[in-house]
Amino acid sequence: MDALQEQLRRFGNACREAGLKLTHQRLEIFSELVRSPDHPSAEALHQRLRKKIPTLSLDTVYRTLATFARHGMITKVETVESQGRFEVTLAPHHHLICSRCNTIMDFQWPSMDEATLPEAVKDWGRIDNRSVVVYGICKNCLDG
């Protein structure tokens, strides 16, 4: 079984566990997100899927992505632009975001993931996730 098929199998199981119907639209939206090398917005996913599913509305894409995120199937990456970007990668990682072209790149930072949190943060409550977002200008934009 290849990686895509394995992710789709896990997605189907996650839908069943969450009590969600595994509809054609949900499967296509998730599949497109898995195949995306970037971190697409809802608008970008909608544009990519319109050829396959002409009746797919942008509202359906937004609602579907929100449902997936609420059930922990995908992650929404908050950016400075008005639209969120989405990814399937759930393993701990962080993001570099270019302030010019809005490209997002994942990176690992194990020492940050394992660092002891300051006391003030520990007293805040329960920490479920650590995510660092670093903003700057990517090499392509600097060279261009």
Give yes or no for a contact between 32 and 74, defined as CB atoms under 8 angstroms apart.
no
Please provide the distance, in angstroms rounded to a whole number, between the alpha carbons at the two ends of the chain.
41
| DSSP assigned state of 117 | P
Any known ligand binding at 15? no
Any known ligand binding at 101? yes
Residue 132 tokens read as 């660092």
CA distance 77 to 87: 8
| DSSP assigned state of 78 | P
Known binding positions for Zn(2+): 98, 101, 138, 141
Known binding positions: 98, 101, 138, 141
